[in-house]
Chain A
Amino acid sequence: MKKKITNLWNRFREKMTPDPMFHETEVQANRLGSLMLFCSGLILLLILALTIAGVFPLKGRLMYSTTIQAIVEILILLVICKIFKNNAWWLKPLLLIGMVIVFARLDSMLTHKAAILMVLPVVFSSRYFSRKLTVFTSILTTVIFAASAFWGATHGLINLNIVTMQEGTVMVATGGFLGDAVQNAGASNEMLIRNTLLYDYFPKWLMFSIVSIISCNIARRGRSMVISQHEKDSKVARIESELNLASAIQADMLPNIFPPFPERTEFDIYASMTPAKEVGGDFYDFFLVDEDHLCMVMADVSGKGVPAALFMMASKIILANNAMMGKSPAQILTETNAAICSNNREEMFVTVWLGILEISTGKLTAANAGHEYPVVKHGNGAFELLKDKHGFVIGGMDGVKYQNYELMLEPGSKLFLYTDGVPEATDAQNELFGTDRMLAALNQEPSASPEQVLKNVDSSVKEFVKEAEQFDDLTMLCLEYKGNQ
């Protein structure tokens, strides 16, 4: 017997404990239930006060005891909700059952006067978004309110419309209300009960069942909305965390520890990338091919976001692999183009400037696949655009050939590489930053360290753009050739 009860209790508990995704909304529903009870309590107090003041002409003794009992019950429920902060699995059934009982008690006194009391618990139950719970509340309401109608027929307010009297019955008014006179005239209890159930309760129940059906529907719709919202939220959260991870991986792919070659005194190099979105299509790269050759890459993938980042990763790896085999810049670009074109149905492309510096002599060999003009400062001169030979972008067309060009860097010379994010930074009036402003920023302090040179350009761009949104990635690289000092 005891085991049976424990089993039953466990099953009940299991049924009433919500799925984790509904926990939040059930706590909110409990809070709404508390609020509903609180308001009901206030109304009862008001009615009580008005009755005491003699405004409401209700049956005195019964009115008082019923109202006070209902207020006490409401208070107990409110205190429980408060103690458990609306947060316990058993509050849901407690609130619903308590509400049905409190409202049924009032209904037994007010009978036909307050038909709306019957629908309150069912409407409230739909807030828990569980059709089963609403069905359960409907059945409970049906039973308890039938009992209250049964008891109320003889104890509560008499609905004079349903009192049938024998022909010729004479009522004698003794002051007070018509209902008292009717009772004094000898209305039988059976007649009152039968007529109340048939003429009062039954039509009321029919209307109640419509509200029940609507509440069930609300509960079911609410449930599916909570579920789909939850699914969307977790999807968005997943995509967001994946994007963050992707941009971290992307940032880690670029050499980002400076100085990168602390033991090399012949040159100084600094680079930075500020993506406009989480992940971008720009990249720079530099690495030593051997003891005497430094390879530098500046590239920009068409488009933005995840597709550009994926394409950027592939391009970076293919370029670096080709470079490490000791090929010339033009060969590296030609072969990278062939590799990318062999499998590029989305027609993405990447502009690349690639140069290899012979560290011992300062001879720079470079090739340009549709990338921006590099900027060079010879010795103590000023930064100037180098209008170099351009080939077509990589990935655009199969079989494109690229050409090498050479220039000598004297000690003190600098090379500045960038992507179109710099000259095409736009201000609020849609004006472009342009290469002229970029050269001016570079020539502010032409002899500063590469790191400072990049900072100058960056702050100059920021000052120009002001509050306008950064539209493109800002990627820059600066090399200073010092030679064998």
Chain B
Amino acid sequence: MLNINKTIENNKATFALEGRMDTVTAPELEKEIQAVLPGLTELVLDFENLEYISSAGLRVLLSAQKAMNAQGSMKVCHVNAAVMEIFEVTGFSDILTIE
């Protein structure tokens, strides 16, 4: 289960995620992000209520990060300890902007 709450103002999109981002739910987020990407300069992912992220979820973050590198910036905020550990183990903490 993954709830995606999307807010868009001008060229900034914020996705507040709630639940688990895994093989089943990650494609939903990918689709949502793909839809707002054109012309976007700022992408914020709020992980405050995200319990778990699997490698499929990491893949979505990676492709979003790559897309945003070319056209603006992306940051991930309110990362909890469990997700942070996954970021550190996989080396994602080095390529993501985490606040």
**Which residues of A come within 8 Å of B, CB atoms?**
281, 300-304, 347-349, 351, 369-373, 390-393, 396-397, 420, 424, 430, 432, 471-472
Nearest 10 A-B pairs (CB), nearest first? A392-B91, A370-B90, A302-B55, A370-B91, A302-B59, A347-B63, A303-B56, A304-B23, A390-B91, A396-B62
Are A397 and B55 neighbours in the complex by a CB distance under 8 Å? no
* A392 CB contact (under 8 Å) in B22, B55, B66, B94: B94
Give the A-B contact count at a CB cut-off of 8 A.
63
Contacts of B62 in A (CB 8 A): 347, 349, 396-397
Are B91 and A303 neighbours in the complex by a CB distance under 8 Å? no
Contacts of B54 in A (CB 8 A): 420, 424, 472
CB nearest to A370 among chain B residues:
B90
Main secondary structure on B side of the interface with A: helix
Contacts of B91 in A (CB 8 A): 369-370, 390-393, 396
Tally chain B residues at the interface, Cβ within 8 Å.
Answer: 21
The reply on B16 being an interface residue by CB < 8 A is: no
User: Which residues of B from 51 to 99 have beta carbons under 8 Å from A?
Assistant: 51-52, 54-56, 58-59, 62-63, 66, 82, 88-92, 94-95
Are B63 and A300 neighbours in the complex by a CB distance under 8 Å? no
**Which residues of B come within 8 Å of A, CB atoms?**
20, 22-23, 51-52, 54-56, 58-59, 62-63, 66, 82, 88-92, 94-95
Are B89 and A397 neighbours in the complex by a CB distance under 8 Å? no
Are B95 and A392 neighbours in the complex by a CB distance under 8 Å? yes
**Nearest Cβ in chain A — how far from B23, in angstroms?**
5
CB nearest to A304 among chain B residues:
B23
CB nearest to B1 among chain A residues:
A430
Of the A-B pairs whose beta carbons lie under 8 Å apart in the complex, a sample of 29, sorted by A's number, is A281-B55, A300-B55, A302-B56, A302-B59, A303-B23, A303-B56, A304-B23, A304-B56, A347-B63, A347-B66, A348-B59, A349-B55, A349-B58, A351-B55, A369-B91, A370-B89, A372-B89, A373-B89, A390-B89, A390-B91, A392-B91, A392-B95, A396-B95, A397-B95, A420-B54, A424-B54, A430-B20, A430-B51, A472-B54
**Nearest Cβ in chain B — how far from A417, in angstroms?**
14
Are B63 and A351 neighbours in the complex by a CB distance under 8 Å? no
Contacts of B66 in A (CB 8 A): 347, 397
Complex alpha-carbon distance, A317 and B58, angstroms:
24
**Nearest Cβ in chain A — how far from B84, in angstroms?**
13
Contacts of A430 in B (CB 8 A): 20, 51
**Nearest Cβ in chain A — how far from B17, in angstroms?**
16
Select the residue from A301, A369, A430 with max chain B CB neighbours within 10 A: A430
Select the residue from B54, B55, B62, B63 with max chain A CB neighbours within 10 A: B55
Are B88 and A390 neighbours in the complex by a CB distance under 8 Å? yes
Contacts of B22 in A (CB 8 A): 471
Are A390 and B23 neighbours in the complex by a CB distance under 8 Å? no
Q: A390-B89, A393-B91, A397-B95 are in contact. Are A302 and B58 (CB under 8 A)?
A: yes
**Nearest Cβ in chain B — how far from A371, in angstroms?**
7
Contacts of B20 in A (CB 8 A): 430
Complex alpha-carbon distance, A33 and B23, angstroms:
51
Are B23 and A393 neighbours in the complex by a CB distance under 8 Å? no
Contacts of B90 in A (CB 8 A): 351, 370-371, 390, 392-393
Given contacts A430-B20, A472-B54, list 15 more A-B pairs with CB under 8 A.
A347-B59, A347-B66, A349-B58, A349-B62, A351-B55, A351-B90, A370-B89, A370-B91, A372-B89, A391-B91, A393-B58, A393-B91, A397-B62, A397-B66, A420-B54
